[in-house]
Amino acid sequence: MSAQHSRSDSGSSGDLLVVDAPGLKRRPCPSSAELVAHVAVHCGLDDEERKREGERPRRAAAVPAAVAALRRSWRRALSAALALALTLVLLTQHRQLYRHAQDAVAHAYYNLDPAMLGRSEAAHPAPRCCRDEACAFTGAPGQRAAVVTYLRDDTYLPLMQQLDCTLRRSNPGLELALMHVPGEISDAGMALARALNLTLLPVKPLEFRNTYESRYGRNWLKVRALGLTQYHSVLLVDSDVAVAGDLSPLFGLPTEFAAVWDQSRWLNRHRTVLQRINGGVFLLRPCAAAEAHMLQLLEQHPKLRFVHGTAEQDFFGWYYRYTGTTLPMHWNCQATQCLAGNLTVGGVEPRIVHFTSEKPMKGPQPGQEGHQFLCSLQELEARAAAAGGTAAAGGSGAASGRSSRSRSSISSSGGTPSQQP
């Protein structure tokens, strides 16, 4: 051979150093198929045996491939199961998650704009019909105060009956009025309001579209309450509230506007959200000039319509941000967010309970939060019977008087009745 070997420097016979031999060429290792063919030629294997011998390496190689494919299938199945579970969670919580996303968008769109933090007197000087102590209701001759609610259709008629019953029970003698757009409530609904001896206040419609919640667009009718100048003071409430205590202290407050912070529950704990007020209870001092000013602002500055927010609720909060009064939550206790038994989370008896989530359309239900402050079905039936008996006893003249009151004309300036009893 031409290959040369030499011993290592250590002199050990076992350590050989292979010296490079350029003349040698390394033969490539044969493949398994070549080996099988070689064995078949020299050992006399037939074609069938040759075929079987050639498939064995392929079968051996297929085993790891099958295991890898199984692992991949298992991972895909696990991923699909996790995706399905996540989808189910999102479907059950989609409304809450969607609402959080809307809140984030509204926060960025409105709260990052300095002009939307609150109405400044320098930028938007507002007319005022009273200031401080002059706003307080004293009961002097000629002063009227009322609780005013509103309906845009018949949906909340059962809730209006609860409002009427709880108000008469807790504040007998306090006037309850219904603000409405003529033609929106059915004849049966209007007949019920008359039978309950509600003061009917027809007003012009006011509505702007809303992407946050489409029904919020109809709540702009609350602006019309500022045009009810036949009253010195108005406690404007949603029809889904129950009055649980004396309301007279509210009317005597030395302020032109008052409302309660919106409330929310997070991780089963109660807290008060300070970013906005809740629109369920507003204390107002009607002022036609203020109503006209609001309508002008809404016309000239469309962003103030809070299309991507809570509509009139955000607008009133913006308008009275620096001049209004914030009330404790027991004046507008949102049932599922505020109550801890018969008291608020602050340990105070609620004066007004607001059913913002679950509406008590079928009357009080055992175990439901806030339902202990509702009138029982027996009380509602007794109230309806008494109202019906009064209407019948009043004769056609009384019914005619109430009918003429509901048909009183709407003034062009404020949308209020031109004549009131």
**CB-based contacts of 237, cutoff 8 Å, min separation 6:** 147, 148, 149, 163, 280, 281, 282, 352
Task: Dump pLDDT digits (tens) for 176-189.
Answer: 999 999 999 999 99
Higher local confidence (pLDDT), 279 or 81: 279
3-class SS shares of the chain: helix, strand, coil, % to 5: 45, 15, 40
8 by DSSP, 3-state: which?
A: coil
- Which range is least confidently modeled, 104-113, 145-154, 402-411? 402-411
> Which residue is listed with tokens 């409302």?
259
User: May I ask the CATH architecture of the domain 124-406?
Assistant: Alpha-Beta Complex (3.90)
What was the pLDDT predicted at 264? 82
Of 49-63, 70-84, 126-140, the range with the lowest mean pLDDT is 49-63
Extract the tokens encoding 262.
Answer: 């919106």
Choose the weakest-confidence range: 93-102, 135-144, 265-274.
265-274
Q: At 383, is the pLDDT very low, low, confident or very high (cuts 50, 70, 90)?
A: confident
- The encoded tokens of residue 332 equal 């507008």
**How far apart (Å, rounded) are the C-alpha atoms in residues 181 and 24?**
107
Span 245-283, pLDDT tens digits: 999 999 999 999 999 999 887 655 656 665 689 999 999
Q: List, for residues 200-225, the tens digit of each pLDDT value.
A: 999 999 999 999 899 999 999 999 99
CA-to-CA distance for 177 and 234, rounded, in angstroms?
10
How high is the pLDDT of residue 61? 56
Spatial distance between the Cα atoms of 353 and 245, rounded to a whole number of angstroms: 10
pLDDT of residue 297: 98
Instruction: Say what the pLDDT of residue 4 is.
Output: 46
- Residue 80: is its pLDDT beyond 90? no
Q: What is the mean pLDDT of the chain?
A: 81
Where does 127-170 have alpha helices with state H? 157-170
pLDDT tier for residue 25 given thresholds of 50, 70 and 90:
low
- Report whether pLDDT(157) > 60: yes
Tokens of 200: 């009917």
Res 30: pLDDT: 62
Per this entry, what is the length of the chain? 421
Residue 344: predicted pLDDT: 94
pTM of the model: 0.71
Per the model's pLDDT, the better-predicted residue between 8 and 170 turns out to be 170
276: helix, coil or strand? strand
Name beta bridge partners: 266: 269
- Report, as an integer, the average pLDDT of 104-115: 88
Q: pLDDT per residue over 310-366, tens digit each?
A: 999 999 999 999 999 999 999 999 999 899 999 998 999 999 999 998 999 999 999
- Under the banding of pLDDT at 50, 70 and 90, the label for residue 393 is very low
- As a whole number of Å, the CA-based R_g of the chain is 40
Residue 47, pLDDT score: 57
pLDDT band at residue 402 under the 50/70/90 scheme: very low
Domain ranges in the chain are: 124-406
